[in-house]
Amino acid sequence: MINLNNVTKIYSSRFKNNEKIALKGVSFNVNQSEFVSLVGKSGSGKTTLLRLILGEEKPTEGKIYFEGTDLTKIKPAHLYKVRRRIGTVFQDYKLFPTKTTRENIAYVMEVMGASDEEINRDVEQILDIVGLKDRADSFPDELSGGERQRVAVARALIHRPDIILADEPTGNLDPYNTLEIVKLLLKIHEMGKTIILATHNKELVNYLRKRVVTLEDGRIIRDEEKGRFIL
């Protein structure tokens, strides 16, 4: 479903001498309905990998295929077609500050042209699942870190995407909410969806007993089925 072929990503800043190699010759395939945990020290390149899959960044070298289509060949104006099939929980949430919880979640369905009835029904349902019913009309700056994170999770799932990219989706959650989100992801995975989860949560990864890909300094150093969290 997703193939990275010898991908290198170098971030270059405005100063020519300040380049950062985030990924080095990474090859990586994810099949449909797989659940992959992406682990590695801070700065090892997990977020970068997810960004490349979403088309947010372009690889400096190498190719990325989404169902056989070269992502770098898709015109920016058409990228939305791919992105509508992906649900992303961003590490920094990326919530819309001038939209309420409800509106933040609904936006993803609005862009796809869903009807108001569908949107209302689905948003109520997911608000209930992530436990934010009473925070539905609050703005992001009125929410706690964990509440914001749950809005981000809800927004990633609302449109029933085929692929979920979850970048540290439980980082700000208490054990109870972490368990709830993990159960939710597993349930979605059982429905045949593909999930890539970047996380620092050792217990969580070990509990899952799914494929684990370990990154170090921009390279994949381990890739195991039913793997464990080892840095």
The residue with tokens 């609904």 is 106
- Write the binding mask 23 to 62 for ligand ATP: x where contact by CB under 6 A, - elsewhere: -----------------x-xxxxxxx--------------
Site for other proteins in 113-132 (CB under 8 A): 113, 115-116
If DSSP codes are grouped into helix, strand and coil, which group holds residue 179? helix
> Which 154-193 residues touch other proteins, going by CB under 8 A?
155, 159
Separation between Cα atoms, residue 119 and residue 109, nearest integer Å: 7
Pairing of strands 219-224, 211-216: antiparallel
Tokens of 222: 């381990």
Token representation of residue 199: 């996380």
Q: With binding defined as CB under 8 A, does residue 80 bind other proteins?
A: yes
| Under rule CB under 6 A, residue 101 binds ligand ATP | no
Q: Which two tokens stand for residue 26?
A: 């990474």
Shortest approach of other proteins to residue 146 CB, angstroms?
20
Owner of token pair 């190498």? 62
- Which residue has 């045949």 as its token pair? 192
Residue 83 or residue 219: which is nearer to ligand ATP going by CB?
219
Q: Is there binding between residue 54 and other proteins (CB under 8 A)? A: yes
Return the biggest CA–CA distance within the chain: 54
Q: Which amino acid is at 114?
A: A
What DSSP character marks residue 162?
S
For other proteins, the binding residue among 68, 97, 175, 192 (CB under 8 A) is 97
The binding site for other proteins (CB under 8 A) comprises 54, 56, 76-77, 79-80, 83-84, 86, 88, 90, 94, 96-98, 107-108, 110-113, 115-116, 155, 159
The binding site for ligand ATP (CB under 6 A) comprises 11, 13, 20, 22, 40, 42-48, 91
